[in-house]
Amino acid sequence: MIVTGQGARGTLAIGGRLFDCALGRSGVVAADTKREGDGATPAGKWPLRRGFYRADRLTLPASLKDWFQPIEADMAWDDDAASPSYNRLIRTRIDNHPERLARADGIYDIVVPLGYNDDPPRAGLGSAIFLHVARADFAPTAGCVALALPDLLAVLAQCDEGSTLEIR
């Protein structure tokens, strides 16, 4: 699976099909220049990690259930570079946490963390780089790759935990 981008828009290619996607507001940058909060999508080949979904909003195809887990209300992704759990799933009671997975806007109704800066995470190099649902207008992301929900489901049907996403 390959994403090529021009600015904040891109195309994801998989299985002979092309899908429009939104990218970071700063476009694609070399991974060694990526920084927390820069709005850039890091170039490179990143494994797909365990996915999450809103069971109250979606019914996943059976083929995805093995590597996806339901999102719970207290789940969030830690984007605090000073935290010992930086760039990892956390449980929090902070309702306005910036990377809460149970979002009202639906963009994290299905979300797959990319294996960027996570083995081990290095503070300040960027966190929460996800494959997730795009906004209706394909507005730029904060650095993630986002597709329309039907397209995202079609793409994920051809993947499994450990598949890779190459961003160019």
pLDDT digits (tens, 9 = 90+) for 115-155: 999 999 999 899 989 999 999 999 999 999 999 999 999 99
pLDDT tens track for 43-85: 999 999 999 999 999 998 888 888 899 999 999 999 888 889 9
- Judge contact between 2 and 155, C-beta under 8 A: no
R_g over Cα of the chain: 15
What are the structure tokens assigned to 156, written together? 């994920």
pTM flag (> 0.85): yes
CA distance 138 to 124: 27
CA distance 91 to 87: 13
Cis peptide before 113 (omega within 30 of 0): no
The helix or strand, by DSSP H or E, that contains position 75, with its residue range, turns out to be: strand 75-77
CA distance 143 to 148: 16
What are the structure tokens assigned to 117, written together? 């800066």
